[in-house]
Amino acid sequence: MAHPTFTSPVADFLAELHRKFAAISDGKLADYIPELTKANPDWFGICLVTTDGHVYEVGDSRVPFTIQSISKPFVYGLALEDNTRQHVLTRAGVEPTGDAFNSISLDPETGRPRNPMINAGAISTTGMIAGKSLTTRWERIMEMFSLFAGRKLAIDDAVYRSEAETGHRNRAIGHLLRNFNILTEPPDAIVDLYFRQCSVAVTARDLGVMAATLANAGMNPLTGDRALRGEYVESVLGVMGTCGMYDFAGEWLYKVGIPAKSGVAGGIVAVLPGQLGIGLYSPLLDDHGNSIRGIRVCEELSRAFNLHLFNAPEAVGSAIRSHYTAAEYNSKRVRTEAETELLRQHGHRVHIYELQGNLSFIRCERVVRDIVANADAIDVLILDRRRVVALPEPSCRMLCELVKSFAVRGCPVLFTHNTPGGALRRTMKAKLGDRFEELFRCFDDDDLALEWSEDRIIASHGGNLEPVATQPADYEICAGLSAADIAVITPLLESRTAAAGERIIGIGEAARELFIIIRGRVSARLPVEDGPSRRLATFTGGMAFGELALIDGAPRSAEITADTDVELHVLSVENFERLKDVYPQIKIAILKNLTLLICRKLRKANRELIVRDQ
């Protein structure tokens, strides 16, 4: 339960706005549709919905009213889905008129309405909705509205009848459009469809969700349902931007800077692409036919929260979350001291870029520019897209060009956390052709990509990636011991084997043994809920694991499994303790070696923490 003092500052601000503007009682109710005069002038609802689906609402946000002209952009989107763009554009232009909402504004020669936000253009648009019968077409329009609102909407019959009885001007427009062959069917039926679409009952909350659906590229953020194909959203917002607020459109874009559409019943939708949608209701209108309180709320919201679309004081921050090399940060594969030194010397030519956020053009451009500037210093490029939330197709193409440029000089580009079916793979497949399999290298995570890159460095310097420790003198824990010391230890070691995949140590088991690898590879892992286990370390020939058994004997804290068939030597705690009385110096030497190995791990971890903290 939330503590009473914890309200959201955004909700508080909206409540304050509501209080402030509820006091305005200027303006008048729309009267050209008689039924609209029945609205209560006090009704006032505000709703703000984010593109991640959070709804803020204040006041009469659930009072129903008719959508009226706000239906126009939504039906325009449906017309774009149902027709070629050419067809739509020849039947309604996209130029603002600067004239009032009911101006006829047809092109004198072609009869084409100037834009789809004036009644003439909207009626033409309604005529473009596909369907075998008027009923089918009406059902499609209603279904579209309902998808946008996230609930089943219905018509307000009283307003529809009132509008149908008095809509002579719109009928006249219908006949004019028929005269110019912009409408090719009996116009009365289309105008009737138009009256219906205007009479759909919505609430401020519905409008907020509908606006957020447009802001969210056509996908309803509450239901996850697609209401409009994403490619048409910019067109719908484009006509709203220049023609949405009647002859107030220029001033609106100038002052408020958020594409919007108003209706004479007192509703407004405003859409901030990628960010939020606003739904407003207050039936008192100004001379332009726009809701007075609604406009004031939008003006104040835009100013108070810097929402003007043209006001982008700074780019949103880098898409490069971090950038480091394999000289600073390494895989979980445990390396010998010599290998560690090799990586410290040559690892700076393996570059890892952790990317984040939306890789839009401008953000991807900066990433690519940074990589191109560093290109001469890079032998292997690792691009981590784990935290990338969007990778649009144009950016996929840029990355593909990058892969090709690196391929020319024989430098691999490794992608990690790539999604199997995404746009990146599609683009790479299309652009790389025959070389797709060879050049588009994907790894599950950075750890594996780093290990692959480190192995490449070590192998190119003659290192042995599968070392075998044929005698105890090769064991890291025996460093510095004399032949005589080793002769003492050898009989204390017990031979054991494990097959690939076999579990050697389980979590929580008693720690009674230290293990040394003669040949093969084992990994320590931590199980993770709902996911692949996390690799903590991978050991190879000559290395020891499970050493804490000799120190504190606490239960095992990780699972250890054989990655390959493995030959092991095992030193039990009992045998180790036996050394104490007779050969304390050997025990001290082994303890020092173990401590040094742990210190090496600590130094690696500390070095990597510094990289991570940067």
- Contact residues for 422 (Cβ-Cβ < 8 A; gap 6+): 391
- Would you call 20 a catalytic residue per the annotation? no
**Residue 466 beta carbon to a second copy: minimum distance, rounded to whole angstroms:** 26
Give the nearer residue to a second copy in terms of CB position, either 423 or 570: 423
Instruction: Given the residues 72, 209, 380, 566, select the one marked as catalytic.
Output: 72
The long-range contacts involving 602-606, CB below 8 angstroms and separated by at least 24 positions, are 604/330, 604/340
Q: What is d(CA 181, CA 160) in angstroms, rounded to the nearest whole number?
A: 27
SS3 81: helix
- Would you call 69 a catalytic residue per the annotation? yes
- Contact residues for 399 (Cβ-Cβ < 8 A; gap 6+): 364, 368, 383, 424, 427
- Would you call 72 a catalytic residue per the annotation? yes
- Would you call 334 a catalytic residue per the annotation? no
Give the nearer residue to a second copy in terms of CB position, either 132 or 528: 528
Task: Label the pairing between strands 320-325 and 350-358.
Answer: antiparallel
Please answer whether residues 590 and 478 qualify as being in contact, where contact means their C-beta atoms are separated by less than 8 angstroms: yes
Instruction: Given the residues 56, 194, 329, 475, select the one marked as catalytic.
Output: 194
DSSP character at residue 499: -
Closest CA to 240 of 257, 223, 225: 257
Helix, strand, coil percentages for the chain (3-state, nearest 5): 45, 20, 35
Phi then psi for residue 384, to 5 deg, are: -100, 115
- List residues bridging with 383 in a β-sheet: 353, 415
Give the nearer residue to a second copy in terms of CB position, either 366 or 512: 366
Give the nearer residue to a second copy in terms of CB position, either 243 or 562: 243
**Amino acid, res. 582:** V
- Would you call 282 a catalytic residue per the annotation? no
Give the nearer residue to a second copy in terms of CB position, either 36 or 524: 524
Distance of CA 362 to the CA centre of its chain: 16
**Residue 106 beta carbon to a second copy: minimum distance, rounded to whole angstroms:** 13
| CA torsion, ordered 340, 342, 347, 350, to nearest 10 deg | -110
**Amino acid, res. 436:** F
**278 is written with which tokens?**
């606003």
Q: What is d(CA 68, CA 65) in angstroms, rounded to the nearest whole number?
A: 9
Please answer whether residues 544 and 476 qualify as being in contact, where contact means their C-beta atoms are separated by less than 8 angstroms: yes
Angle at 43 (CA atoms; ends 37, 48), nearest 5 degrees: 125
Closest CA to 271 of 51, 60, 115, 78: 51
**Amino acid, res. 295:** I
**Residue 1 beta carbon to a second copy: minimum distance, rounded to whole angstroms:** 7
Instruction: Given the residues 75, 233, 264, 522, select the one marked as catalytic.
Output: 264
- List residues bridging with 57 in a β-sheet: 47
Give the nearer residue to a second copy in terms of CB position, either 322 or 572: 322
Task: Give catalytic residues, as residue numbers.
Answer: 69, 72, 194, 246, 264
